[in-house]
Structure 1
Amino acid sequence: MGPLGIKHVVVSLLLVALLAFRLQAGTAEQHLSSDEIDQANARLIELITTPSSSLHAGAASLTLPKPLGPRTLPLYAQPKAKILLLGRGGQVRAAIATVDTLHIPDPSQKVIRFTVASAAEITPERVLVVANHSHAGPRLPSGLAMRLAFGDAEIKHAQLIDLFDKLTRKALRHYEPARMGLAEAAMPNYVGGRAKGAQVSIDNKIRLALLQSKHQRTILWSFAAHPTLVNRHHPKSDGDYPARVAHLLQLEKDADFAIFLPGLTAQATPATVRQVDDYAALIASAVSGLVLLAENNMQSEARVHATEMEISIDPALPIPLIGRPFVLAPWATARLGSSDRKIKLLQLGPLRLVGLPGEPSHALIGSSAKNAWVVGMAGFGMGYLVPPEDAHRPPERDLVLLGAGDAQRVKELIQILRDGGAQVSNRTHPGQ
C-alpha cells in the first residue's frame, strides 16, 4: 500500500473514531417546519425591501503569499485573493471576498470576515467569503482530519489578516459610483458529469454580472465545472482555469478584475477540452462575449444588502462498507474543521446570491436564474449536497453532506430564497 493509501486508511479510521454513535435516520422525507419557512420568508423580505439607491463599488486583488513548504507559485495566473465592496448612496453595505483555494475552513473564514468587516466598517455577517475551489490552490489552516487528508496549511492566519486588510483598504480607495448589468449563456459542450457511465443533470450556463465605474471594470461570473484541471498534488500552487480566465480578461482589457463564484459544482466537470490553458481560453472568450451583452442592460440604481440564516441540519458521512451515512456529533464536526450551518444571502440590484457551504448539485437544487445564483463553497461544509438517489455515485459518494431528509429540506429552503417565495408546504410533519 502506497503513502496515499495509508493516508486514506488513517483518515478513514479517524473519521470513524469521531463519529457520533447513531445512523442517519432512514430515508423518510422531511420538510421545512413552519418556523423555518417563516424565517426564510423574513430574510427574503429583508432583501427585497431594502431601499434602492445609487450603486457604489470598489474592487482589489492581490497575489497570495508564497506557500509554506516545498510548493512554489506559477509564473502567471497566480492564485489570488480578491475583494469587491458594494454599497448604495456611498455607504459600504456588503463585501464579497474570494480566495483561489480548494476550501476555506471555518477559522479562516472568520478571520477573513472580521478583517474585511473591520476595515470596511460593516458587520461580519455582511461579508460573503467564497473559495474558488481550485484543487491545486494553497491550503489554509484547517482541522486535523483535513490536514491528514490534504496536507498542512501553506498560509497562516496572520498572513490572511494582513492580506485582507490591505485588500479592503485598497478597494476603499477605488470605491465610487457604478453601473451594473447581467448576462448568461449556455455552454453545454464544456461542462459534463463527473460520474462515469451515469446520466446526471448538470447546470451548463455561465452567468455574469458586470460592474462598471469610472476607474474600474469588475466582472462577477459563475460556472459549474469543477476546477480540477490542475492536480491538487501539483508542485505549484495553482488557481486552475478561473485564475487563467481572470488573467486573460485582464490581458485583453475586458476587465480589471474577474471574480469567480463556483456554481452547482457537485457532479460537474470540465468537458471536451482537458488542457487547462486551452480550456481557460475558451471560457474567457465566452465571458468576454457576455460582457458585451451585459453592457446593453446597465443600471445605476440598486438595492445592496447582505444577511444570513442558519438551517438545522445533521452533517452526515457515508461509510461504504455499511452503506448508510453516519451523523457526526457537533464536537466531532468542529474537530474536522467545520461548523458552518449558515446560508448567506446578498442582494445586488436585480441579482440575488444564495451562498451555501459545501458543493450543491443541479439535481438537488435545480437551475439558477439569470438574476438569482446559487453559489457553492460560500463557507466550509463537509462535502456535497446531492439528492438521495445520487448519494452512491463516485466521486461524490465518499463526501455526501446530507442525509435524505435534510436534502429535501435544503431543496425547499433554496426554492424560497432563490425563487422569491416558491410554494412550500406549511403543514406539520410527523417527527418535527
Structure 2
Amino acid sequence: MSSRWRRVLSTLLPLTLLTLGSAYALASWNWCGRWSERAPVLLGQVRAQGPLRAGAARVPLQPPYPVVVAGYKPPRPEASQADVTPQARAVVLAAGEVKVGVVSLELLLVPDAVVAAVRERAADLGLQGVAVVATHSHSSLGGYDARLVSQLAGTGRYRKAAQEAVVAGASAALHEAAARLSDVTLEVGEAQEPGLVRSRSGGEEPDGRLTRAVLRGAGGPVAELLVFAAHPTVVPRERASLDPDWPGRLSQLREEQGGVTLVLQGAGGNASISFDEGEGVEKARAYARTLAGLAERAAPGAVGETRLAFARAEVALPRPDSSRLVPSYSRAAGDNFLCTSASKVTEVGALTLGPLELLMLPGEPTVGAGSVLLRRTGATGVLGLADGYVGYVETPERVEAGEGEARRQYFGPALLERLGTGAELAAQAAGFTR
C-alpha cells in the first residue's frame, strides 16, 4: 500500500469511528422520556334494555392499486388485483335511545388514526359508541398505517390513498347499516372444536370455541357475529393478489343464508391453525367451510329482553420495552425506535349484547392473557384487534421469562395489568354481571 493511501486511511478511519460512535450515542440517548402512570379514565358509557333493532351492511374496500400486501416482514409484494375483494362489514345495534356501531375490516390491524377517522365520519349517525375491529388477515391490503414500526413490521409503506380507502369503506358500511334498522330478536349459541387450533408458542392451549350471535328480523337473519380465535395465515405468502384469508371466506359462506356476517377475533395471539386439508388458497377455503359447519353446530337459542351497553376506558400505557426484540447493546436505540410509533394511551372497550359480555382490546391478547381478563371482569369473551393496535399482550410471568409471545410484545410486563385495570372499569360501566 502506498504512503498516500496510508495517509488517507489514517484520516478516514478515525472520522468513520467517530461518526459511528456519535450515531450510536445519539440513538442510545433516552428520547422516550418519562411515561406517566395514572388510573384509567372512563371515556363514555351507555346502557339500555328492551326491544332490539339492528341494521347491517357489507361494502367492498377500494384499494388504490397497485397496493402493498400486508402481513409479513419485507420484502412485500404489491398486488394489482384481489382474489376475493376485502370488505368492510358493519352492524348497528339499537335499544331505546341507545345506538352502537361495530365495523369489521378485513385487514391486518386497525391503527388509532383509522379508528378516529371512522368515528369522525360516523358522527352524523347519532351513535353513542363505535368499535372498529380487524379480522387480522395477513394477505390483505397494507399502506394505511403511518406509524414507522407498523410500516416496517407488517403494513408496508404508508400511502394516504390506502388509508382513505379503508376509512371510506368503513364509513359507508356504518351509514348503510344505520339506514337499515329494523326490529330483531337475538339468538346466541356456542360450539367447540379444539382440533382446529393449536398453541403457536406454548402457554395455555386454545379451546377452539366459536360463539355465534344471530340478529334475526321478520324476513330472516339481519346480521351474525362469529367470535373465533385463529391466525388468518392460511393463504400462502408472497402473493401478488389481495386475499382476506379464511375470515372473508367464512363470512361469504354464512352470508349465502342471508344477512351480513362479522368475524371477530377472540383471545388467541398464540393460537395458530392446525388443519391439513388442501393446499394454498384451497386450504383457506376448506378451513372456512369447516368453520361454517362449526357455526351451524353452535345452534343459537333465543334470548328474551335484551341488554345493550357499550363503554370505553382510556389507559396509560407503560413505556415501550425492546429488551426481548433486539440485542442488549442496542436496547436503548430499540426503545427509542418503538417510542417514535407508540401512543402513550390506548383504550379498552366493553360491549354487552344480551348474555354476551365482551371485552375489546387494541392488540393480540394470548389465550393466557385472555383468561386473566375473563377472571378479572367476568366477561364471557375477549375480542382482540379492536380500536387500535399495541401489539401482542402476554401474561407478565411469560414476559419476564421471555416465553410465549413475549418476544413480539412491544411493551414490558406491566402491559396486561394496565389493560386489565381499564377493562375492569369498562366492564363495570357496561353492566357486566360478575
For residues 267 and 275 of structure 2, the distance between their equivalents in structure 1, rounded to whole angstroms, comes to 19
Q: Indicate if the aligned counterparts of 1:384 and 1:399 stay in contact, CA closer than 8 A.
A: yes
Correspondences of 1:23-102 after superposition (within 5 Å): 50-69=47-66, 70-76=78-84, 78-89=85-96, 91=97, 93-102=99-108
For residues 419 and 109 of structure 2, the distance between their equivalents in structure 1, rounded to whole angstroms, comes to 21
State the partner residue of 1:3: none
State the partner residue of 1:344: 349
Deviation at 1:319, TM superposition (A): 3.4
For residues 164 and 334 of structure 1, the distance between their equivalents in structure 2, rounded to whole angstroms, comes to 29
Q: Indicate if the aligned counterparts of 2:269 and 2:364 stay in contact, CA closer than 8 A.
A: yes
Amino acid at match of 1:52: Q
For residues 349 and 329 of structure 2, the distance between their equivalents in structure 1, rounded to whole angstroms, comes to 32
Aligned residue for 2:316, secondary structure, equals coil
State the partner residue of 2:169: 163
Deviation at 1:152, TM superposition (A): 2.2
What TM-score do you get using the length of structure 1 for normalisation? 0.77
Amino acid at match of 1:107: A
Q: How many residues align?
A: 380
State the partner residue of 2:309: 305
Higher relative contact order (CA 8 A, sep 6+): 1
Q: Are residue 202 (structure 1) and residue 206 (structure 2) matched?
A: yes
Q: Cα 1:384–1:200, aligned 2, differ >3 Å: closer, same or farther?
A: same
For structure 1, list consecutive stretches of 5 or more residues without a partner in the other structure: 1-12, 26-31, 423-432
Aligned residue for 1:309, secondary structure, equals strand
Cα deviation, 1:242-262, whole Å, max 9, x if unaligned, reads 1111111123x1x42110111
Larger mean CA deviation between 61-70 and 153-162 belongs to 153-162
Cα deviation, 1:320-370, whole Å, max 9, x if unaligned, reads 4229987988x9667426555110122222222211111111212318599
State the partner residue of 2:74: none
Q: Are residue 259 (structure 1) and residue 247 (structure 2) matched?
A: no
Which of 130, 133, 143 aligns to 2:133? It is 130
Q: Indicate if the aligned counterparts of 1:99 and 1:130 stay in contact, CA closer than 8 A.
A: yes
For residues 418 and 123 of structure 2, the distance between their equivalents in structure 1, rounded to whole angstroms, comes to 31
Q: Are residue 376 (structure 1) and residue 384 (structure 2) matched?
A: yes
Which of 278, 281, 289 aligns to 1:281? It is 289
What TM-score do you get using the length of structure 2 for normalisation? 0.76
Q: Indicate if the aligned counterparts of 1:23 and 1:324 stay in contact, CA closer than 8 A.
A: no
Cα deviation, 1:149-171, whole Å, max 9, x if unaligned, reads 33224653433443334323321
For structure 2, list consecutive stretches of 5 or more residues without a partner in the other structure: 1-22, 67-77, 278-282
Aligned residue for 1:234, secondary structure, equals coil
Q: Are residue 355 (structure 1) and residue 355 (structure 2) matched?
A: no
State the partner residue of 1:385: 393
Q: Cα 1:18–1:326, aligned 2, differ >3 Å: closer, same or farther?
A: closer
For residues 158 and 272 of structure 1, the distance between their equivalents in structure 2, rounded to whole angstroms, comes to 36
Larger mean CA deviation between 367-376 and 281-290 belongs to 367-376
Q: Indicate if the aligned counterparts of 2:52 and 2:184 stay in contact, CA closer than 8 A.
A: yes
State the partner residue of 1:4: none
State the partner residue of 1:28: none
Aligned residue for 2:225, secondary structure, equals strand
Which of 99, 110, 115 aligns to 1:104? It is 110
For residues 384 and 202 of structure 1, the distance between their equivalents in structure 2, rounded to whole angstroms, comes to 16
Which of 175, 181, 185 aligns to 2:191? It is 185
Q: Cα 1:149–1:386, aligned 2, differ >3 Å: closer, same or farther?
A: closer
Cα deviation, 1:177-223, whole Å, max 9, x if unaligned, reads 1111211122110010112xx45332421111111113443110111
Q: Indicate if the aligned counterparts of 1:24 and 1:403 stay in contact, CA closer than 8 A.
A: no
Q: Indicate if the aligned counterparts of 2:227 and 2:265 stay in contact, CA closer than 8 A.
A: yes
Deviation at 1:417, TM superposition (A): 5.4
For residues 322 and 99 of structure 1, the distance between their equivalents in structure 2, rounded to whole angstroms, comes to 37
Larger mean CA deviation between 141-150 and 241-250 belongs to 141-150
Q: Are residue 319 (structure 1) and residue 328 (structure 2) matched?
A: no
For residues 170 and 417 of structure 2, the distance between their equivalents in structure 1, rounded to whole angstroms, comes to 37
Amino acid at match of 1:51: A
The structure number with the bigger radius of gyration is: 2
For residues 29 and 388 of structure 2, the distance between their equivalents in structure 1, rounded to whole angstroms, comes to 19
Aligned residue for 1:287, secondary structure, equals helix
Percent of aligned pairs sharing the same letter: 22
State the partner residue of 2:75: none
Amino acid at match of 1:270: I
Larger mean CA deviation between 153-162 and 173-182 belongs to 153-162
Aligned residue for 2:414, secondary structure, equals helix
Q: Cα 1:327–1:152, aligned 2, differ >3 Å: closer, same or farther?
A: closer
Cα deviation, 1:12-56, whole Å, max 9, x if unaligned, reads x99x9498468999xxxxxx98x55xx68x98xx66xx3312111
Larger mean CA deviation between 373-382 and 278-287 belongs to 373-382
Which of 237, 243, 247 aligns to 2:242? It is 237
For residues 83 and 374 of structure 1, the distance between their equivalents in structure 2, rounded to whole angstroms, comes to 19
State the partner residue of 1:141: 145
For residues 396 and 237 of structure 2, the distance between their equivalents in structure 1, rounded to whole angstroms, comes to 28
